[in-house]
């Protein structure tokens, strides 16, 4: 038995936990690689109540007023809105339950994006982005983008040139064929509304849990919001304890036993030059304990064997043989007495 090989085996068991691959981050959390700050947006996410108590108000998503916009907004963080939205413009019915931001205008519901559980950090800014909302309005055409110069007097040469250009345009229109060319707008991808939420730290204990404000939109396609909350301040990531107190005690006891066995075997083999089972630390004590338990087992089994019922038929047979033996001995005695009497008479 080569017990010194237990040392590298024990070391391998102790370092096995450190070789596990890192776990992926939890949804709606992120850690800054520059500052090491950990952000968790799950506390500000609103979840629907399955069984509302009698008299209790049903929860609603975080709302922002559009002061300079003709609609108000409902937004949730890393989760769909708790309101039941229907007939969302330009969104398939199967995705209505995945809308994380929306607004109503003119009796219609417009989505600002679907659920996203991966916030991003840009510099020192914490950003949450929703995409794939309702279709955006078509961009203005080139004619609408044409900038007209103010009216000013024109000279005769410029008027003749403009008139000549108009005549050329009319001639070109006459030369065009009757069929229409395909529009390039059909080949372009459909632009969809999106929401960009900038989360700001607010450590005021008297402030609301989330203060959501609508900042504005430039092209009615990307809507910007600012959300102040304690969750955006970040903190230190505390690793979750995976073992119970009993499990921790068991690991400590296992390590102590391994150290005792390995250290004792190395000492017995190198210093006392023991071989075989005598390399075990305190071999005589463990052998005595083993012999003690063996004796206890033998005594217990023998005591139980006495309590077992015996075979009565065998006793009767032995008694019959004993009586037969007694009868044989009496006949021999009588025969010897008769023989002595005859000799005495002679």
Per-residue model confidence as pLDDT tens digits over 54-107: 455 668 899 999 888 889 999 999 999 999 999 999 999 999 999 999 999 989
What percentage of the chain exceeds 90 in pLDDT? Answer: 32
Q: Which residues make up the CATH 2.70.130.10 domain(s) of the chain?
A: 29-48+58-137+188-232
pLDDT score recorded for residue 20: 55
Indicate the average pLDDT of the chain: 76
In this predicted model, what pLDDT tens digit does every residue of 174-190 receive, in sequence order? 444 444 444 445 556 78
Alpha helices in the chain (DSSP H): 6-14, 142-145, 156-175, 245-270, 283-306, 312-345
Q: 221 versus 248: which is more confidently predicted?
A: 221
Residue 158 has pLDDT above 90, yes or no: no
Q: Which residue has the higher pLDDT, 97 or 273?
A: 97
pLDDT for residue 283: 75
Tokens, residue 283? 């071999």
Does 144 score more than 50 pLDDT? no
Q: What is the pTM of this model?
A: 0.55
Q: What does the pLDDT read at residue 248?
A: 82
The pLDDT of residue 285 is 80
The CA distances from residue 84 to 251, 276, 334, in Å, are: 50, 76, 121
pLDDT, position 21: 58
Interval 269-278 mean pLDDT: 79
At 87, give phi and psi (nearest 5°): 50, 50
Amino acid 317: pLDDT = 46
Phi and psi at 121, nearest 5°, equal -115, 120
What mean pLDDT do residues 126-131 have? 95
Among left, alpha and beta (phi > 0; psi -120 to 50; other), residue 28 is left
**Predicted pLDDT of residue 63:** 94
pLDDT in tens, 7-51: 555 555 555 544 555 667 789 999 988 888 899 999 999 988 765
Per residue in 285-336, pLDDT (tens digit) is 878 888 888 888 888 887 776 666 665 544 444 444 444 555 556 787 777 7
Report residue 215's pLDDT band, with 50, 70 and 90 as the boundaries: very high
pLDDT above 50: residue 4: no
Q: Residue 241 — pLDDT band, cuts 50, 70, 90?
A: low
Are 237 and 31 contacting, i.e. CB atoms less than 8 angstroms apart?
A: yes
CATH topology for the 29-48+58-137+188-232 domain: Cation-dependent Mannose-6-phosphate Receptor; Chain A (2.70.130)
**Which is more confident, 114 or 281?**
114
Residue 277 and residue 264 in contact, taking contact as beta carbons nearer than 8 Å: no
């Amino acid at each position: 038995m080569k017990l010194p090989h237990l040392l590298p085996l024990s070391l391998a068991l102790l370092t096995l936990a450190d070789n596990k691959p890192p776990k992926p981050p939890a949804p709606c959390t992120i850690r800054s690689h520059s500052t090491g700050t950990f952000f968790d947006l799950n506390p500000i996410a609103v979840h629907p109540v399955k069984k509302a108590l009698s008299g209790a108000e049903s929860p609603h998503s975080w709302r922002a007023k559009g002061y300079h916009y003709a609609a108000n907004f409902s937004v949730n963080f890393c989760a769909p809105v708790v309101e039941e939205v229907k007939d969302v413009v330009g969104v398939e019915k199967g995705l209505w339950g995945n809308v994380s931001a929306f607004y109503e205008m003119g009796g219609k519901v417009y989505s600002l994006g679907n659920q996203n559980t991966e916030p991003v950090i840009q510099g020192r800014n914490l950003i949450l982005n929703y995409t794939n909302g309702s279709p955006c309005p078509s961009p203005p055409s080139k004619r609408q983008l044409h900038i007209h110069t103010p009216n000013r007097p024109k000279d005769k040469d410029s008027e003749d040139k403009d008139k000549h250009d108009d005549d050329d345009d009319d001639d070109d229109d006459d030369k065009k064929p009757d069929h229409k060319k395909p529009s390039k707008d059909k080949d372009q991808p459909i632009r969809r509304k999106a929401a960009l939420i900038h989360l700001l730290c607010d450590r005021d204990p008297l402030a609301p849990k989330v203060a959501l404000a609508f900042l504005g939109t430039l092209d009615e396609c990307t809507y910007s919001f600012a959300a102040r909350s304690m969750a955006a301040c970040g903190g230190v990531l505390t690793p979750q304890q995976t073992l119970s107190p009993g499990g921790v005690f068991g690991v400590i006891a296992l390590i102590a036993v391994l150290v005792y066995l390995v250290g004792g075997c190395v000492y017995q083999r190198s210093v006392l030059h023991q071989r075989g089972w005598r390399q075990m630390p305190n071999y005589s004590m463990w052998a005595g304990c083993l012999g003690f338990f063996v004796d206890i087992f033998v005594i217990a089994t023998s005591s139980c064997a006495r309590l077992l019922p015996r075979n009565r038929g065998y006793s009767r047979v032995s008694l019959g043989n004993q009586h037969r033996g007694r009868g044989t001995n009496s006949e021999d005695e009588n025969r010897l007495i008769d023989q002595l009497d005859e000799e005495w008479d002679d």
